[in-house]
Amino acid sequence: MKKYIALFVLLIFSGSCSNSLEDLNVNTKDATTAAAETFLNNATKNVFDIMSTIFPGANTQPDYQNVFRFFSQQLTQVTYIEESNYYIVESQVSGSLWDLMYRDVLRDLDESARVVSLEEVTLPQDILRKENRMAVVETMTVLTFSILVETFGDVPYSASLDPDNVTPQFDDQQTIYYDLIDRLSRAIESMDVSAPGFERDIVYGGNMDRWKKFANSLKLKMGLRIMDVNPGLGSTTVTEAVQSGVFASNDDNFELEYLNTTPNTNPLWVALVQSGRQYYVAAEPFVDTMNDLGDPRREAFFQTVGGDYIGGVYGQVQPYSSYSPMGTRFFEPDLPGIIMDYAYVEFLLAEAAERSLISTPAQGHYDAGIRASFEYYGVAGVDDYLAQARVDYTTAPGDWKEKIGIQKWISLYNQGFEAWTEYRRLGYPILTAPPNAYINEVPVRLTYPISEQTLNQANYTAASSAIGGDLLTTHLFWDAN
């Protein structure tokens, strides 16, 4: 009996030594908090998955079909051709993109910012580190919202991340975009390249010099995007970005290194290899352009059929074996995902030169963009290519929009969203809808998700009216073509 009493007393005293008896019920193996870095990296990977994938179910949940590779007519489907003909399957396009961006990206970024804001710091270096971390999260938030605005137009913004508001209003697209530029500018100003950021971020590993270059390159892009509707703000945005420092080589590219094992492989590998589906081939408009120019990058972009690069008729059912599939590098599980590269930035600078926003000549940036693309894909022959009359900046056909637009379109292979967006903005290349398409022109936006129409009807109706109709043909505020 004394033995049991002694044990009871021991248990009481041992319990009193803990903060609370409730602590005995805490599962220490089940974490209830996470580091800000975890939320940032999860959001970042989701953005790269969304922009890299092509087929539903390829590393994204819910299923999401990336239609932008088709809208830019770089690739075409050879079976199940609905998306190439603009019959958008809402659950796999608009709705999924919307859900993924708001739920899986912006929510995580918001939580990352909240966790960083709660960090208590006193030492000067720790204060700089905290400011850098906030700036990185803000840069990713601006990137994500800019994609949503450039895709849909008016979207939920000011009330979008309020968990108590399940029917948020849609904010004006132009107002959002200008606010994003302001937010990005303030984030850049707060970056200190002498201090660390997130030491284990999955893109730049905490290198704030590279994060600042990416933020400035994003700002450059956004400034040019609004030049035709707000030249004053556009000019200031571009010149500030260039002066602060944009990408200077392929080492600066904003890309994600995928792994050889699932679930961290490039979504293209899931779509092209793991799924076993043979659905996608080179589109005729894209390959014919490259064939006409004898473009050596064909060997990196595509495989031959009988020794030739052959594009499929865009938007038609046709045999996969008769046309050039994507190049072998795109079938590798660890292919890097790319959102912005140095070649793209040089083409943006060429445009800035043509608009007299910078003093360096447009041809130098145009040539540098082509050289950067050749270098990125490890392709030889760039000097001969640039010497061609149809490629040389002084003799290539058309005005600067056409010269830059065509070469930018080629270099943006595997960056379908930007290829489509630059086509919408500059009007080049000239693309036409296939004969049996849902609409008789290439879409210039995505329609709102059905979920917004049914669950947020009043705000959906107001937004649809404000932008001029919830249609694939409604031009967004920056699209003056």
| Cβ–Cβ under 8 Å, residues 121 and 130 | yes
In a domain, 320, yes or no: no
In a domain, 51, yes or no: yes
| pLDDT number for residue 8 | 40
Tell me the per-residue pLDDT of 45-68, one tens digit each, with 9 for 90 and over: 999 999 999 877 666 655 678 899
In a domain, 388, yes or no: yes
What are residue 75's phi and psi, to 5 degrees? -125, 160
* Helix, strand, coil shares, percent, the chain, to 5: 55, 5, 45
At 252, which CATH number? Answer: 1.25.40.390
Residue 47 burial (CB count, 10 A): 21
Give the pTM. Answer: 0.92
| Structural domain total, the chain | 1
Q: What is the DSSP letter of 169?
A: P
Tell me the per-residue pLDDT of 229-264, one tens digit each, with 9 for 90 and over: 999 999 999 999 999 999 999 999 999 999 999 889
Tokens (6 digits) for 39: 């939320």
| pLDDT number for residue 88 | 78
In a domain, 373, yes or no: yes
Residue 186 burial (CB count, 10 A): 11
| pLDDT number for residue 12 | 41
In a domain, 108, yes or no: yes
Which residues constitute the domain of residue 428?
Answer: 36-261+336-467
Residues of the chain under the 50 pLDDT cut: 1-18, 29-30
Q: What angle do CA 51, 54, 57 make, to 5 degrees?
A: 100
| pLDDT number for residue 61 | 52
Give the C-alpha separation, 238 to 67, whole Å.
29
In a domain, 325, yes or no: no
- Three-state secondary structure call for residue 65: coil
Tokens (6 digits) for 51: 């922009």
- Three-state secondary structure call for residue 337: strand
In a domain, 110, yes or no: yes
Task: Please provide the distance, in angstroms rounded to a whole number, between the alpha carbons at the two ends of the chain.
Answer: 92
| pLDDT number for residue 93 | 80
In a domain, 257, yes or no: yes
b/e per residue 251-278 (b: at least 16 CB within 10 A): ebbbbbebeeeeebbbbbbbbbeeeeee
3-state SS track over 253-278: CEEECCCCCCCCCCHHHHHHHHCCCC
Residue 200 burial (CB count, 10 A): 11
